[in-house]
Amino acid sequence: MAPPQQAPAGRRAPVPTGWLSGRRTGLRRGLAAVVAAINRGLDRLPIGHWLHRRARRRLELPRLDLRLRAPAPGLDGLRLCFVSDVHAGSFLDERDLTALFERIQAEAPDLVLFGGDLINTRERELLLFREPLRRLRPRLGMFAVPGNHDHFWGPDIGLWSAFLQQHGVQVLNNRGVRIERDGSSLWLCGVDDLTEGTPDLRAALHGRRDGEPTVLLSHHPDFFFEAAAVDVDLVLSGHTHGGQIRIAGWAPIHHSKFGYERGWFRENGCHLYVGRGLGVTLLPLRIDAPPELPFVTLRCPSRGANAGARAAMLAVPHADPRPSPAPVP
């Protein structure tokens, strides 16, 4: 087995800082408590649930394709459902989650991938997932990584991880697993949250075979800065809510240093998809950023097409080391 590929020395995802970074340090702990109190207060008002139901009626289920770089015929047609930023407990109850998860199951994905922020402010919000998770039966399993909200209100995420494991969801916190399908394999891995946790890409890639197609779950999209250096095919992230509230295409709150707010981005042949997520935080509003459940279908190139693509990549000189947004062709 070839040694796992690792990020070059000196290339590490920058840890977010500032009032809107999501990182709880110093006075921001007090700000987090205020935001939580506002959420809980609005959650008690009927108008909060009414507004959130209106937003959920605009739920989108985009069908996306991702062409793998290496031939892996058995992975052709593999369907991933990406679920992020649920924020259960704020304007979303067990009945709402059950209806959403039944809709996912009706699409019959092969894998269901949770991209963090399942809960909003309290550990007991996990209990809302007991019945909804029973409705999900993807062929190849369910997997999750933590988000910054999953780290809130506790010294660690041990309870969060244990609950999910008990209900059939494998937690990929700085680790990976091999998914086998029709004679081909996929390395599926995940990292801890960039703001509140300690992401370790080296640990997540440990055990990956040389050239093996790879999908990485990272709650914060800025971790793409690091992942794009190690031949990852796809990074799935959330955190931004697509801006949640956008005015004339502009989001007052920015959660990404590199502008990874929503949709597709590409760097070094690695693709990032930033989902808008299902839930909300602070206010039960979404403006020009409807919730979404993206379904990604993996496509396998022929050997000839793959060789041509690699030759074309080698012919393009590397310029700016920072990832730059680009739509998927």
Element (H, E) at 187: strand 184-190
pTM: 0.85
What distances in angstroms separate CA 260 from CA 58, 137, 217, one per listed residue?
22, 31, 15
Q: How many whole angstroms separate alpha carbon 104 and alpha carbon 110? A: 11
Per-residue pLDDT band at 313 (split at 50, 70, 90):
very low
CB neighbours (10 Å) of residue 83?
25
Contact 139, 168 (CB under 8 A): no
CB neighbours (10 Å) of residue 211?
13
The answer to whether residue 282 scores a pLDDT higher than 60 is yes
Element (H, E) at 176: strand 175-181
Alpha-helical (H) ranges within the chain are: 28-43, 46-56, 94-106, 130-134, 148-151, 158-166, 201-205, 224-227, 303-314
Per-residue pLDDT band at 266 (split at 50, 70, 90):
very high
Element (H, E) at 308: helix 303-314
Per-residue pLDDT band at 326 (split at 50, 70, 90):
very low
Query: What amino acid occupies position 131?
Result: E
Query: What amino acid occupies position 59?
Result: L
Q: What is the sign of the dihedral through the CA atoms of 93, 95, 100 and 101?
A: positive
Q: Please give the structure tokens belonging to residue 303.
A: 């050997």
Q: In the prediction, which pLDDT does 250 show?
A: 82
Contact 274, 237 (CB under 8 A): yes
**Chain segment 115-131, per-residue pLDDT in tens:** 999 998 888 899 999 99
Beta bridge partners of 263: 274
Range name among 133-137, 174-178, 310-314 with the lowest pLDDT average = 310-314
Per-residue pLDDT band at 7 (split at 50, 70, 90):
very low
Name the residue with higher pLDDT: 47 or 149. 149
CB neighbours (10 Å) of residue 117?
28
* Domains, in order of start, for the chain: 28-314 (3.60.21.10)
CB neighbours (10 Å) of residue 180?
11
- What average pLDDT does range 228-235 have in this prediction? 95
